[in-house]
Amino acid sequence: MKTSRRRVRGPLLAVLLTLGLSLSATPASAFPGSPGPATPDIVDSTEHGGRTVALTFDDGPNPEDTPELLDVLRRHRVRAVFCLQGDQVQRHPGIARRIAREGHTLCNHSMYHGDMGDWSEEEIRADLLETDAAIREAVPFARIPYFRAPYGSWGRSPGVAADLGMQPLGWSLAVEDWVPPGTDELVRRVEEGVGPGAVVLLHDGGGDRSQTVEAVARVVPELRSAGWRFTLPARRG
């Protein structure tokens, strides 16, 4: 997990803030992928609970591991949420397009993975708008129904994200794959930690995520055989 705190400054900040003011006057339901008004409540479960689980992946796209992860998910017919980092989308737009093309849900995960805990609403809005623009440059008219704060450091971001039509997306199970503990350990953490309606935090970017890919390839069929169904997080808090 990176610790960059780069912020938008100067003329670009002014432009984004102007755009943000016009967007904030638009009903949240007018945004692509937002059938109703988003709320500031942080979602950390699936819609219906029970033996359902949602897989979410942060910090990508990553050319070393994301394509292989996509292969695994396609093979097992699982749809997931990819929390995309804006600068990574700019570096690897083709992978972002593949994520969307294969039916996965997109999530705004900030532009540079900065800690927003003490940012002003204006700074957060500028960053989220810049990230949305980067995603939609790669994937025109992309639906971006969720926002996830880097490090889970939410600060004022839930309200800003909701104003922009994005539901804040948390998690109920973090397996800490950002410090690779070995594939067997990741599998154990998921299988022992998963509960009804779990939203699982994993990573496809930010470092070597080959262990995560291998763990997902094992966990998905094992959970399915145990009666679990893969779905998406709730759309509203």
Beta-carbon contacts of 129 under 8 Å, excluding residues fewer than 6 positions away, are: 16, 19, 20, 23, 164
The answer to whether residue 18 sits within a structural domain is: no
Q: pLDDT over 70 for what percent of the chain?
A: 85
Query: Considering the domain boundaries, does residue 13 fall inside one?
Result: no
Average pLDDT score over residue span 70-91: 98
Say which range, 26-40, 58-72, 86-100, has the weakest mean pLDDT.
Answer: 26-40
Flag whether 211 is in a domain.
yes
Q: Are residues 232 and 53 in contact, defined by beta-carbon separation less than 8 angstroms?
A: no
| Strand stretches in 40-166, DSSP E | 52-60, 81-84, 105-108, 146-147
Look up the CATH number of the domain holding residue 80. 3.20.20.370
**What pLDDT is recorded for position 36?**
67
Answer positive or negative: Cα dihedral of 7, 134, 104, 74: negative
Please enumerate in sequence order all residues whose Cβ is within 8 A of that of 213, keeping only pairs 6 or more positions apart, or say none: 65, 68, 69, 72, 204
Reported as type and span, the H/E element at residue 14 is: helix 10-24
Q: Domain total for the chain? A: 1
Active site annotation includes 203: yes
pLDDT tens-place string over residues 8-34: 444 444 434 434 433 333 333 333 344
Q: Buried (b) or exposed (e) across 178-198, using 16+ Cβ within 10 A?
A: bebeebeebbebbeeebeebb
Q: What is the mean pLDDT of the chain?
A: 89
DSSP state of 62: -
Q: Is the pTM of this model over 0.75?
A: yes
In a domain, 34, yes or no: no
The predicted structure's pLDDT at residue 237: 74
Per-residue pLDDT reduced to its tens digit, 34-56: 446 899 999 999 998 899 999 99
Domain span at 79: 45-230
Q: Which of 58, 65, 177, 204 is catalytic?
A: 58
Q: Is residue 52 part of a domain?
A: yes
Q: Tokens standing for 149?
A: 């704060």
Sign of CA dihedral 102, 103, 104, 105: positive
Q: What is the DSSP letter of 116?
A: -
Does residue 9 lie in a domain region? no
pLDDT of 181 strictly over 80: yes
In-domain check, residue 38:
no
The length of the chain is: 237
Burial of residue 199 (number of CB atoms within 10 Å: 0-12, 13-18, 19+): buried
Active-site residue flag, 48: no
Is residue 36, in this structure, part of any structural domain at all?
no
Answer yes or no: is pLDDT of 223 > 90: yes
Catalytic residue (one of 44, 163, 203, 204): 203
